Amino acid sequence: MKDKLNIIKIGGNVIDAPKALDRFLSDFAALKGKKILVHGGGKIATEIGKKLGIETKMVEGRRITDAETIDLVTMIYAGLINKKIVAALQSKNCNAIGFSGADGNLIKATKRPVKEIDYGFVGDIEDGSVNTSLISSLLDQDVMPVVCPITHDGNGNILNTNADTIAATLAIAMSKKYETNLFYCFEKNGVLRDVNDDSSFIRELKRETYEDMKGRKQIFEGMIPKLDNSFQTVDKGVHSVYICNAFHLSSLVNNTNPIGTRIS
């Protein structure tokens, strides 16, 4: 039987609120067994960028990562946010270790090719590039990776990569060795039947139901890539994917009155 591994992704709604982050990190630290935390960016990069005179560049609604922006997000994601999380987890008896994709060659990416838009220093993860043996060796020593949304291309360039994609890539790669559960935490309790009612979350979402809800516009824009991604991740061997609220994580992991949506 495969050992279990839980991979949890948190985003800006948790990272930007110090009390919420602290509460979440206590829950994460208390989870038994092998685990990996993947974190996104949060508003602080934009705030510090403003002070440094680095404007957010958008082309056709897409964010562009130029040279000064990649330096900014490297400082904030791999430096400030990652180390604050790691230090906080250490204080909660969780031996965490911070990672960008460059560290230990954890995740290699390719700079997105310039077509209509030059996205700048944005990386698309290379297939099969996850250094799974390094992660396994750390997990076996009870050292838990905390991964920020920064990768590298192997040519010395640091690249900006979506945290959801990093979490999914890690889950797929690790599922060869571990029974891997992936938890996408966001501000709601799961996929809701009624977007205004947090108690209307669906416990288990199957592809047919999803397609049906999408057809009836019960599932909205932002959720569509998240869910498409989740179904693909399950198809690629990940044991389960959950969409949930960070504060109900323990209920799902420990299966005690679970609140959240399982994608299956």
By CB under 8 A, tell whether 19 contacts a copy of itself. Answer: no
- Residue among 245, 69, 228 nearest 158 (CA): 69
Nearer to a copy of itself, 107 or 192 (CB): 107
Question: Which 45-64 positions form the footprint of a copy of itself (CB under 8 A)?
Answer: 48, 51-53
Only segment of 115-123, 131-139, 207-215, 218-226 that touches a copy of itself (CB under 8 A): 131-139
What phi-psi label fits residue 128: left (phi over 0), alpha (psi between -120 and 50 degrees) or beta?
left
Only segment of 58-66, 101-109, 191-199, 242-250 that touches a copy of itself (CB under 8 A): 101-109
Q: Which of 96, 223, 249, 263 binds a copy of itself (CB under 8 A)?
A: 96
Containing H/E element for 144? strand 144-147
By CB under 8 A, tell whether 137 contacts a copy of itself. Answer: yes
Q: Which of 31, 64, 80, 213 binds a copy of itself (CB under 8 A)?
A: 80
Query: How far apart are alpha carbons 252 and 185 in whole angstroms?
Result: 11
Tell me the sheet residues that pair with 122: 160
Nearer to a copy of itself, 136 or 218 (CB): 136
Residue type, 187: E
Whether residue 37 contacts residue 85, with contact meaning beta carbons closer than 8 Å, is answered with yes
By CB under 8 A, tell whether 259 contacts a copy of itself. Answer: no
Q: At closest approach, how far in Å is the CB of 169 from a copy of itself?
A: 18
Structure tokens at 176: 């060869």
Question: Which 103-122 positions form the footprint of a copy of itself (CB under 8 A)?
Answer: 103-105
By CB under 8 A, tell whether 4 contacts a copy of itself. Answer: no
Q: At closest approach, how far in Å is the CB of 84 from a copy of itself?
A: 7
Count Cβ neighbours within 10 Å for each residue of 130-152 and write b for 16 or more, e otherwise: bbbeebbebbeeeebbbbbbbbb
Residue type, 253: V
Q: At closest approach, how far in Å is the CB of 228 from a copy of itself?
A: 31
Nearer to a copy of itself, 7 or 102 (CB): 102
C-alpha torsion sign, points 134, 82, 91, 12: negative
By CB under 8 A, tell whether 15 contacts a copy of itself. Answer: no
Structure tokens at 257: 């009155």
Whether residue 46 contacts residue 73, with contact meaning beta carbons closer than 8 Å, is answered with no
Determine the Cα angle at 58 with ends 56 and 64, to 5°: 75
Question: Which 153-172 positions form the footprint of a copy of itself (CB under 8 A)?
Answer: 154-158
Point out which residues bind a copy of itself (CB under 8 A).
48, 51-53, 71, 74-80, 82-84, 86-88, 90-91, 95-98, 100, 102-105, 133-134, 137-138, 141, 143, 150, 152, 154-158
